[in-house]
Amino acid sequence: MANHSSGKKGKGSSVHARRAVAYIVLILISFLCLFWFYVLFINASRSNSELGRGFTVLPGKYLGKNFYNLFHSSLPVVRGMVNSLIVAALSALLSTYFSTMTAYAIHAYRFAGRKAIFTFILGIMMIPTQVTALGFVKLVQSMKLEDNFIPLVIPTIAAPMTFFYLKQYMDSNLPGELLEAARIDGAGELRIFNTVALPLMKPAIAVQAIFAFVTSWNNYFTPSLILHKDKVKTLPILIAQLRAADWLKFDMGQVYAMIAFSIFPVIIVYLILSKNIVGGLAAGAVKG
Amino acid sequence: MKKKKSVVTRYNRWGYIFLIPFAVVFVTFQLIPLCTTIYNSFFENYMSGLRKVGPNFIGLKNYAKLLTEGDLGKYFCNTMIMWILGFVPQIILSLLLSAWFTNPQLRLKGQRFFKTVIYLPNLIMAAAFSMLFFTLFSKGGPVNSILVAVGVFKEPYDFMAHIGSVRGLVGFMNCLMWFGNTTILLMAGMMGIPDSLYEAAEVDGATPGQIFWKVTMPLLKPIFVYVLVTSLIGGLQMFDVPQILTNGSGDPMRTSMTLIMYLNKHLFSKNFGMAGALSVLLLILTGFLSAIVFQVTAKDEVQ
Amino acid sequence: MKKRMMALVSMALAGAMILPMAAMAGETEAAAAAADEGKVLNIEVWNEEFKSRITDHYPGYEKTDDTHGKIGDVTVNWIITPNDDNAYQNNLDTVLPGNADASADDKVDMFLIEADYAKKYIDADANVAMPLKDLGITSDDLSKQYKYTQDVVTDANGDLRGTSWQACSAGLIYNRAAAKEVLGTDDPAEVQKAVADWDTYNETAKKMADAGYLMQSTVNDTYRVYSNNVSGPWVQDGKVVIDDNIKKWVDDSKAQVDAKETTTAELWSDDWSKGFYPEGKVFCYFGPAWLINFSMKADDEKSIAAQGGWGLVNGPQGFFWGGTWICAAQGTDNPSLVKDIMLKMTTDDDIMKEIAQKDSDCVNNKEVLKALASDDSGSNKVLGGQNPYQMLADGAEKVDMSNISIYDQGCNEEFQKAMKNYFDGNASYDDALAQFKSAIVEKYPELTTD
């Protein structure tokens, strides 16, 4: 690549100009993205009264106190974190593994009704969650699965959006020849899927795992309909509970501390998984 | 193609086996509730306080009521306007960023940092995000103080009381929350494009613009269609951002009320009948719009 | 079969589900029956207020952990569901109707409600809250309570189905500095003259605006005062009716907003609370004791409250704001314990005095308030040493809640939301009213609006 740029000196200046523009835009965008975390941090460091007086640029002195209050309140914050982690991790795992499997079924095999099933799954994608919410809750109640993680985790196995993305990705990144080669080596179908197809899909799976994790982590709507006992509550429910606190205990500083606290683990998970994406990008470059 | 097919044929029953988990979960957790929803749409069935009214079979009356009395058209337009306000800048930004990130010529430094940062807004809960916006853009909030100080406004501007600013803020928030997500998808799609193609195009003297439109875009099409369709579906389901920003009212005068916010109004009274009918209409609408998108952009994809 | 079920249920109402013998023996046997009662007391709440009152004041309550406690050998289980998205009521709607059939340890024994939606749960037909007389609580037991607190939880047959330890009568809280500057005095008696009725109130608003003050922070501050003084319920014969006093709120508010004497900010928003500080320049707020004591940022030295810069007067009309009512869930297996908690927490003079002193609740007990009114311990720092109790006690006598209906919460919320469009100049009154009406039909499909 180095000789490309040296070979085309005439273009050098325009590359420089474009690079400069790119940097400026990227820095502006980064500011826009990070600004909210700064505001959250500032707000988490101020007392309820200070927050009422409007926004300030400098942090307050209440960061420690807000967190102290949070952990010494009657909210099961740590338990909530563990619950959220369990639900989100299982959701990410199940939705990506089984969606890859579903996509693989459509991609790698030619069977009767294949196209119809593909179109059908795309159709399912269009059902808004809220549309079936009432029926879903009734179903969960009749199955006696309230206050249980099953109705939050198991349904992610059928994730049409994830399926669709992985299917699209397979079209350009999973050649049938590779699978046939494995068959000739005598590998079973499940084994081929687990040892040949899955590793090749790693970047796409990482992307969807992040999405699934974050979606589940931040989900308030469904859990609030299903989880009522303190033992099983996830973080978004606890945040809602904190915001609904009575006037005596109402403390916006604590609410912001709680939000900051609940964002922290997602950032870590994101940073871990995003390595995969960037790594995948590098692999793509090597491939060329 | 033909030859490959014949070789694979005997393994094909595995296609069905691999579909089992999806099918079982789908039937249990989505199809059954969906059927309940459709079934309910033909009944009068709601709660008045703690008293249950119905279910009484009333045929298509719920549908007739929605189509004649409700402002369904208005809410559909609101939803689409706010989606477009967010999606257009979002897709432009995402294409630009992913093109920059994957362009070997530019060799941007700190890519790792930028790639990581752009997705971060999505990690904040929509509810928390709307809360922050509400505070920042309130009449006595910092945005107003700055705008008044630099002389843009003479007196604080009530962002929440004007149609344009509310819709604009919703669009802006959606853009900010989702452009990182879109960029990652597009970048992952661009990974599949071999560098040799870019290099060949460069050797042929193609401008960056030409490379983008003639090399990148066609190869990106499957992912691009995915982004477009999922974003459209996500847009039609837009709910929490305008809901929390406007405190559920969709004001001014319901000009920022989306279809799902309207659906949510019926959920309050546990109106299974009206909510069911509205859901079915939504389903038809989404299917119709998505079909158009597929037809226009990717005839070959569905096949 | 069905008949037998009904007979069983009515026996449960008599307060002795397990032993029909005890029912025949009469209520005096309550203590003996307690031994046969459930071992778990489930209490549905949306926040921690009542839990902390019980922990601090109910004799014999032992806290085991944050959401559990013990009274004797009965385990107390606090089930907290936040109010957001109507989740608390949705939860009650699910568990209460089938409560009698739930297994012993899952039965809800008590639940808490607020005035805005109280009628929904104390409805005689719905029958999810036990009439107090079925628990053996008599009107003599409740004689020191204010009438309005009982109106809120009285069903169509005149039966009480709940009780409260709070009387949240409220008044007009004024900024003393502003009063001195504009009215020339901060003496409550004189200030009251300037806000004695809505016409003089509006006159004063003009003077305040000329001096650079908002009369009140937002139109939503006064809404509660107007809506507490209506001549009829929101819904009459299945039809939504806009009361004259509500219409007056619309007209007065529109004039005030147009003259920039107030704003349309939401309650609890930063724009609303800016007047808690001198530079916010707001003349008055409307609120009860808890607003004065806990919400006006008295802990922040820069606030007016910290400097004792507020005063309290009755204002143009009497009203109340807030309060929590305790109900016994139909089907409870701990009726005698529930009865005892209700009596101790909402009628016992000593406990209520303790609550007033420790938690600054304005308690629902005429005797205790009277004592506090004549006692120096009743003087309030936020109010610059003024003793508010006489005024609050008088106010509580005047509040009339006989026009409350199950539709109040929805109607009040939607009406304020819809009218904001009119005040902000985004709609005519008729258009805003039309939007209110469609919102009401969405919430309550059984109502008509024309």
CATH number, domain containing residue C222: 3.40.190.10
User: Residue with structure tokens 């319920």?
Assistant: C233
What is the predicted pLDDT for the residue at A273? 77
**Are C12 and C124 part of one and the same domain?**
yes
The answer to whether position B99 is within a domain reads: yes
What is the predicted pLDDT for the residue at B215? 82
User: B43-48 and B51-57: which strand pairing?
Assistant: antiparallel
The pLDDT-based confidence of B3 (bands split at 50, 70, 90) is very low
- The DSSP secondary-structure symbol of A75 reads S
What predicted TM-score, i.e. pTM, was given to this entire model? 0.84
**Are C269 and C414 part of one and the same domain?**
yes
Q: Which helix (H) or strand (E) holds B43?
A: strand B43-48
**Are C426 and C364 part of one and the same domain?**
no
How far off is chain A from B252, nearest CA to CA, in Å? 24
**Are C212 and C252 part of one and the same domain?**
yes
Out of A76, A225, A249, closest to residue C48 by CB = A249
**Are C345 and C291 part of one and the same domain?**
no
Measured between alpha carbons, how far is B234 from B30 in angstroms, rounded to an integer?
Answer: 18
The answer to whether position C375 is within a domain reads: no
The pLDDT-based confidence of A12 (bands split at 50, 70, 90) is low
Q: Which of the other chains make 3 or more beta carbon contacts under 8 angstroms with chain A?
A: B, C
What is the predicted pLDDT for the residue at C190? 94
The whole-number average pLDDT for the span B268-286 is: 86
Short-list C75, C74, C82, CA closest to C47 = C82
Q: Output the six-digit token pair for C18.
A: 């397990």
In order, the DSSP letters of A169-201 are: HHHHH--HHHHHHHHHTT--HHHHIIIIIHHHT
Q: Any chain A CB within 8 A of the CB of C81?
A: yes
Question: What residues make up the domain containing C311?
Answer: 169-319+383-443
Q: Which of the other chains make 3 or more beta carbon contacts under 8 angstroms with chain B?
A: A, C
The pLDDT-based confidence of A206 (bands split at 50, 70, 90) is confident
Contacts of B28 in chain A (CB under 8 A): 139
Which residue of chain C comes nearest to A224, CA vs CA?
C87
Q: Are B120 and B181 in contact (CB under 8 A)?
A: no
Decide if B302 and A55 are in contact by the 8 Å CB cutoff. Answer: no
Q: Are C346 and C165 in contact (CB under 8 A)?
A: yes
Number of domains in chain C: 2
The answer to whether position C378 is within a domain reads: no
Decide if A243 and C79 are in contact by the 8 Å CB cutoff. Answer: no
Residue type for B197, please? L
- Listed by start position, the domains of chain A span 11-68, 75-244
C287 phi and psi angles, rounded to 5 deg = -175, 170
Residue A288 has pLDDT above 50, yes or no: no
- The DSSP secondary-structure symbol of B57 reads E
How far off is chain C from A245, nearest CA to CA, in Å? 5
Q: Which of the other chains make 3 or more beta carbon contacts under 8 angstroms with chain C?
A: A, B
Residue type for A213, please? F
Q: Are C182 and C208 in contact (CB under 8 A)?
A: yes
How far off is chain C from A37, nearest CA to CA, in Å? 20
Number of domains in chain B: 1
Contacts of B238 (CB under 8 A, 6+ apart): B79, B82, B83, B170, B174, B258, B260
Decide if C359 and A47 are in contact by the 8 Å CB cutoff. Answer: no
User: Residue with structure tokens 């103080």?
Assistant: B145
**Are C301 and C435 part of one and the same domain?**
yes
Q: Distance from CA of residue B74 to its chain's centroid? A: 19
If contacts are CB pairs under 8 Å, which of residues 230-259 in chain C contact chain B?
none
In order, the DSSP letters of A76-123 are: -HHHHHHHHHHHHHHHHHHHHHHHHHHHHHHHH---TTHHHHHHHHHH
Contacts of B53 in chain C (CB under 8 A): 445-446
Contacts of A249 in chain C (CB under 8 A): 47-49
Decide if A224 and C300 are in contact by the 8 Å CB cutoff. Answer: no
Task: Pick A6 or C167 by higher pLDDT.
Answer: C167
Measured between alpha carbons, how far is C315 from C286 in angstroms, rounded to an integer?
Answer: 8
Which residue of chain B comes nearest to C121, CA vs CA?
B50
**Domain A75-244: CATH class, spelled out:** mainly alpha
Measured between alpha carbons, how far is A218 from B241 in angstroms, rounded to an integer?
Answer: 13
The whole-number average pLDDT for the span B181-208 is: 81
What is the predicted pLDDT for the residue at B201? 85
pLDDT tens for each residue of A63-84: 888 888 888 877 888 999 999 9
Decide if C85 and A224 are in contact by the 8 Å CB cutoff. Answer: yes
Q: What percent of chain B has pLDDT over 90?
A: 23
What is the predicted pLDDT for the residue at C240? 93
Which of B59-63, B135-139, B213-217, C269-273 reaches the highest mean pLDDT? B59-63
User: C108-113 and C214-216: which strand pairing?
Assistant: unpaired
What is the predicted pLDDT for the residue at C18? 36
The whole-number average pLDDT for the span A83-95 is: 95
Write the CA distances from C47 to A74, A181, C128, C275, C356, integer angstroms. 11, 63, 21, 27, 19
Q: Any chain B CB within 8 A of the CB of A173?
A: yes
C280 phi and psi angles, rounded to 5 deg = -70, -20
Which residue of chain C comes nearest to A226, CA vs CA?
C91
What is the predicted pLDDT for the residue at C27? 37
The whole-number average pLDDT for the span B194-218 is: 82
Decide if B252 and C427 are in contact by the 8 Å CB cutoff. Answer: yes
Residue B247 has pLDDT above 90, yes or no: no
**Are C250 and C159 part of one and the same domain?**
no
pLDDT tens for each residue of B25-58: 999 988 898 888 889 899 998 888 788 887 889 9
What is the predicted pLDDT for the residue at C45? 92
What is the predicted pLDDT for the residue at C23? 37
Which of A12-16, A125-129, A187-191, C337-341 reaches the highest mean pLDDT? C337-341
Residue B243 has pLDDT above 50, yes or no: yes
**Are C46 and C177 part of one and the same domain?**
no
Measured between alpha carbons, how far is B177 from A211 in angstroms, rounded to an integer?
Answer: 12
Contacts of B143 in chain A (CB under 8 A): none
- The DSSP secondary-structure symbol of A247 reads T
**Are C334 and C310 part of one and the same domain?**
no
Looking at chain B, how many residues does it have? 303
Contacts of B51 in chain C (CB under 8 A): 123, 125-126
**Are C104 and C131 part of one and the same domain?**
yes
What is the predicted pLDDT for the residue at A287? 33
Could you tell me which residues of chain B have a Cβ less than 8 Å from any Cβ in chain C?
Answer: 46-51, 53, 70-71, 134-135, 138-141, 158, 161-163, 247, 249, 251-254, 265-266, 268-271, 274
Q: Any chain B CB within 8 A of the CB of C83?
A: no
How far off is chain A from C215, nearest CA to CA, in Å? 20
Mean pLDDT of chain A: 82
Residue type for C420, please? K
Contacts of C241 (CB under 8 A, 6+ apart): C232, C233, C234, C235
pLDDT tens for each residue of A232-262: 999 988 887 777 666 556 788 888 888 888 8
The answer to whether position C270 is within a domain reads: yes
ipTM score:
0.82
Contacts of B249 in chain C (CB under 8 A): 417, 420
Contacts of C67 in chain A (CB under 8 A): 74, 76, 230
Write the CA distances from B218 to A16, B189, C408, integer angstroms. 27, 11, 59
Measured between alpha carbons, how far is B204 from B19 in angstroms, rounded to an integer?
Answer: 46
**Which residue blocks in chain B are alpha helix, DSSP H?**
2-8, 13-26, 32-40, 61-68, 72-102, 111-119, 126-136, 142-149, 163-191, 195-203, 208-210, 217-236, 240-245, 259-268, 272-297, 299-302
Out of C52, C84, C91, closest to residue A240 by CB = C84
Q: Any chain C CB within 8 A of the CB of A231?
A: no
Contacts of A47 in chain C (CB under 8 A): 299-300
Task: Pick B118 or A221 by higher pLDDT.
Answer: B118
Out of B50, B135, B270, closest to residue C270 by CB = B135
Question: What residues make up the domain containing B167?
Answer: 71-268
The whole-number average pLDDT for the span A99-120 is: 89
State yes or no: cis peptide before C97, omega within 30 of 0. no
C185 phi and psi angles, rounded to 5 deg = -155, 155
| SS3 state at B46 | strand
Out of A244, A248, A249, closest to residue C46 by CB = A244
The domain spanning residue B196 has which CATH number? 1.10.3720.10
User: Residue with structure tokens 């037809």?
Assistant: B295
Task: Pick B164 or A249 by higher pLDDT.
Answer: B164
Q: Output the six-digit token pair for A39.
A: 């505001």
What is the predicted pLDDT for the residue at A95? 95
What is the predicted pLDDT for the residue at A155? 93
How far off is chain B from C187, nearest CA to CA, in Å? 31
Short-list A143, A225, B274, CA closest to C90 = A225
Out of A49, A74, A237, closest to residue C303 by CB = A49
The answer to whether position B3 is within a domain reads: no
Q: Which helix (H) or strand (E) holds B55?
A: strand B51-57
What is the predicted pLDDT for the residue at A272? 81
Decide if B117 and A34 are in contact by the 8 Å CB cutoff. Answer: yes
User: C214-216 and C319-320: which strand pairing?
Assistant: unpaired
Size of interface B-C (CB pairs under 8 A): 81
Contacts of C421 in chain B (CB under 8 A): 251-253
Contacts of A82 (CB under 8 A, 6+ apart): none
Contacts of C439 in chain B (CB under 8 A): 265
How far off is chain B from C153, nearest CA to CA, in Å? 15
Contacts of C63 in chain A (CB under 8 A): none
What is the predicted pLDDT for the residue at C108? 93
**Are C396 and C252 part of one and the same domain?**
yes
Measured between alpha carbons, how far is B45 from B40 in angstroms, rounded to an integer?
Answer: 8
Mean pLDDT of chain B: 84
Q: pLDDT tens string for chain C (450 positions)?
A: 444 444 444 444 343 333 333 333 333 334 434 556 888 999 999 888 899 899 999 998 999 887 889 998 899 999 888 777 787 898 898 889 888 888 888 899 999 999 989 999 999 988 999 999 999 999 899 999 999 999 999 999 999 999 999 999 999 999 999 999 999 999 999 999 999 999 999 999 999 999 999 999 999 999 999 999 999 999 998 899 999 999 999 999 999 999 999 999 988 888 898 899 999 999 999 999 889 988 888 888 889 999 999 999 999 999 999 889 999 999 999 999 999 999 999 999 999 999 988 888 889 999 999 998 888 877 888 999 999 999 999 889 989 888 888 899 999 999 999 999 999 999 999 999 999 999 999 889 889 887
The answer to whether position B30 is within a domain reads: no
The answer to whether position C147 is within a domain reads: yes
Which residue of chain C comes nearest to B164, CA vs CA?
C426
Decide if C270 and A52 are in contact by the 8 Å CB cutoff. Answer: yes
Decide if B8 and A110 are in contact by the 8 Å CB cutoff. Answer: yes
**Are C272 and C408 part of one and the same domain?**
yes
Measured between alpha carbons, how far is B193 from B222 in angstroms, rounded to an integer?
Answer: 12
pLDDT tens for each residue of C155-188: 999 999 999 999 999 999 999 999 999 999 999 9
Measured between alpha carbons, how far is B191 from B98 in angstroms, rounded to an integer?
Answer: 10
Measured between alpha carbons, how far is C108 from B100 in angstroms, rounded to an integer?
Answer: 61
